[in-house]
Amino acid sequence: MTVQTADRVSSLLASLGVEAENPGAFDGSWIDTSGPLIESINPTTGEPIASVRSTTREEYERVAAASVVAFEQWRTWPAPKRGEVVRQLGDELRRHKDALGGLVTLEMGKILSEGLGEVQEMIDMADLAVGMSRQLYGLSMHSERPEHRMYEQWHPLGPVGIITAFNFPVAVWAWNAMVAAVCGDSMIWKPSAKTPLTAVALTRIAQRVLEANDAPAIFGLAIGDRNQVGKPMTEDRRIPLISATGSVAMGRSIGKAVAERLGRSLLELGGNNGIIITDDADQDLALRAVLFAAVGTAGQRCTTTRRLFLQKGIAESFKTRLVDAYKSITPGDPMEASTLMGPLVDGRAVEDMKAAIATAVEQGGQVLCGGEAIEGDGYFVQPTLIEANTQMPITCDETFAPILYIFEFDRLEDAVRDHNSVPQGLSSSIFTTNVLSAERFLSPAGSDCGIANVNIGTSGAEIGGAFGGEKETGGGREAGSDSWKIYMRRQTCTINYGDELPLAQGVEFDV
Ligand code: UN1
């Protein structure tokens, strides 16, 4: 790291209250954690930035007990008052947007514009949740019994466990935390061990807002590994909801553990997202969209485009343009404004990418460009295009790297069938100017994903919609629309204001 960069890093960390070594758990106060040290590595240089002392099982227990106490107080606050605290949190994030966005880039490696975008996503979530705090509506129904009234209401649920991945170190916390907070829940956050500093910095910001409002410590934090934090949390009967983002394998084991105790889980797991481009599509638009969706965030979004279906009439020309565009992208320092693609998160991610490319070639794929890791400091790779066919099993896997598999098709029905043939079901797009093709893609026989776009890439969803996917993606929905409902418990209430006791369904039971 150059001196200049080192200076920049230390002033960034200082402005966010991050020290050389930080405690890894917060329960209203910072706990003097005693687990192994987690070193945070800058993926651009491979050098350590600072460290966090991880949380042990006993320390997790303290955070969990505190979150129950915080919940019992917080649930009595009127929802709009809870919204006011979230509004202030949004303001505080506006103030720290540059520093926090910079830290995301430093620790995770996405380009600065995306690091800042993530903080913006948190701010947007805060604004949305403030509005929600006055709109946690229940329905009222007409009772079949005379002089009876029936309605439903939504109550706070309890402490929520939030498990997030390295690739969106703050935004995914905000999808859950802003909504859970206005719903009256407390929470325990288990962030990725690859981005612990961001979690410490964000929790410090949240702490100040809580203290300024004399609010209970609803934003708990426990940075630690699976055995010390993940497992006790998913098995903890005091935590009615576990919201987890990560791999399918992780989601499967969390889903089982939570189901075993009949808890609720909200799973946002892998994607293997496809874009279909028809002969009549606007090629310029499609090209830009494919680039952002496949190369953006170095292919490390769950919404990254991993499969491209080209209709035969445009396939050759589109491939040529795409190869040229890929070759023009030089991975580099994500802090530099001109960089479009930063490093992968760590050496393991580079190895996984190399292994996937080797497997693809073995299975008959042809590398059109890229295909190599870049020697030198940091974890840089070349964005890679592979001509593939749907018989290649590797194309059913999500490799968290910038590999795009290209297929060709004649008829739209075949492209949709192939598109839907993978186990995952997160995001999908079609590029077409034909209204019939667009509507067919969106019809019940069209895309089987939780997100389906027309003339927009698969990534970069807005927070106003419900975010999540089907099949092995896990079925959960977060952020906007009515996703708040999973953070609350529904109660159906019937009130008899008469003098009689009529029974439903006309049942007679007179003594
Ligand atoms: C993720 O990669 O886990 O739609 C989330 C998007 C972002 C969120 C991605 N808003 O690409």
Q: What's the pLDDT tens digit per position in 168-216?
A: 999 999 999 999 999 999 999 999 999 999 999 999 999 999 999 999 9
Whether the per-residue pLDDT at 102 is higher than 60: the answer is yes
Which residues make beta-bridge pairs with 62?
Answer: none
Pocket test for ligand 1, best of 162, 172, 273, 302 (most atoms within 8 A of CB): 302
pLDDT band at 9 (very low <50, low <70, confident <90, very high): confident
> Where in the sequence numbering do the catalytic residues fall?
268, 302
Q: How confident is the model over 433-456, as pLDDT tens digits?
A: 999 999 999 999 999 999 999 999
- Is the pTM higher than 0.85? The answer reads yes
Strand order in the sheet with 488-496: 140-141, 148-156, 488-496
Find all residues with CB under 8 Å of 13, minimum gap 6, and list them. 19, 49, 50, 103, 197, 201
Separation of 124 CA from ligand 1 center, angstroms? 14
CA of 142 to the centre of ligand 1 (A): 41
Largest CA distance in the chain: 89
**Which atom of ligand 1 sits closest to the CA of residue 167?**
2
Is the beta carbon of 221 within 6 A of some atom in ligand 1?
no
- Name the token pair of 126: 């805060």
Q: What percent of the chain has pLDDT over 70?
A: 99
Alpha-carbon gap, residue 446 to 470, rounded angstroms: 14
What per-residue confidence (pLDDT) applies to 169? 98
User: What pLDDT, in 10s, does the model give residues 58-82?
Assistant: 999 999 999 999 999 999 999 999 9
Position 309 scores a pLDDT of 98
Evaluate whether the domain defined by 20-269+474-491 bears CATH number 3.40.50.10860. Answer: no
Domain boundaries defined on the chain: 20-269+474-491, 273-462
Q: What is the pLDDT of residue 6?
A: 77
Nearest to 321 by CA among 287, 273, 285, 359: 287
**Domain 273-462 adopts which CATH fold?**
Aldehyde Dehydrogenase; Chain A, domain 2 (3.40.309)
Q: Is the CB of 305 under 6 A from ligand 1?
A: no
CA of 462 to the centre of ligand 1 (A): 9
Residue 383 pLDDT > 60: yes
What integer pLDDT is reported at residue 146 of this predicted model?
A: 98
Three-state SS string across 360-413, please? HHHCCCEEEECCCECCCCCCCECCEEEECCCCCHHHHCCCCCCEEEEEEECCHH
Q: What is the dihedral of CA 348, 166, 101, 60, to 10 degrees?
A: -130
Judged by phi (left if over 0) then psi (alpha if -120 to 50, else beta), residue 142 lies in: beta
Q: Tokens 């949004």: give the residue.
A: 90
Contacts of 494 (CB under 8 A, 6+ apart): 143, 148, 149, 150
Tell me the torsion sign for CA atoms 217, 223, 229, 231: positive
Radius of gyration over alpha carbons of the chain, in Å? 24
- For atom 3 of ligand 1, the residue with the nearest CA is 302
Q: Give distance in angstroms: CA of 172 to centre of ligand 1.
A: 8
Q: Is the pLDDT of residue 8 over 90?
A: no
| Mean pLDDT value across residues 330-354 | 97
Q: Could you tell which of 121, 248, 301, 477 is best to mutate to test the pocket of ligand 1, judged by most ligand atoms within 8 Å of the CB? A: 301
Paired strand residues for 187: 160, 219
The helix (H) or strand (E) run that includes residue 143 is none
Question: Token match 């701010």: residue?
Answer: 123
**Rounded to whole angstroms, how far apart are CA atoms 274 and 305?**
6
Contact in structure between 47 and 41 (CB atoms under 8 Å)? yes
pLDDT of residue 294: 98
Q: Which two tokens stand for residue 43?
A: 């993926």
Mutate to test the pocket of ligand 1, among 467, 477, 478 (most ligand atoms within 8 A of CB): 467
Query: What was the pLDDT predicted at 4?
Result: 54
Edge-to-edge strands, sheet with 21-23: 21-23, 47-53, 37-42
Averaged pLDDT for residues 329-351? 97
The C-alpha torsion from 399 through 402 and 406 to 412, rounded to 10°, is: 80
Rounded distance between C-alpha atoms, residue 342 and residue 109, angstroms: 6
Residue holding tokens 């987890």?
A: 244
Cβ of 168 less than 6 Å from ligand 1: yes
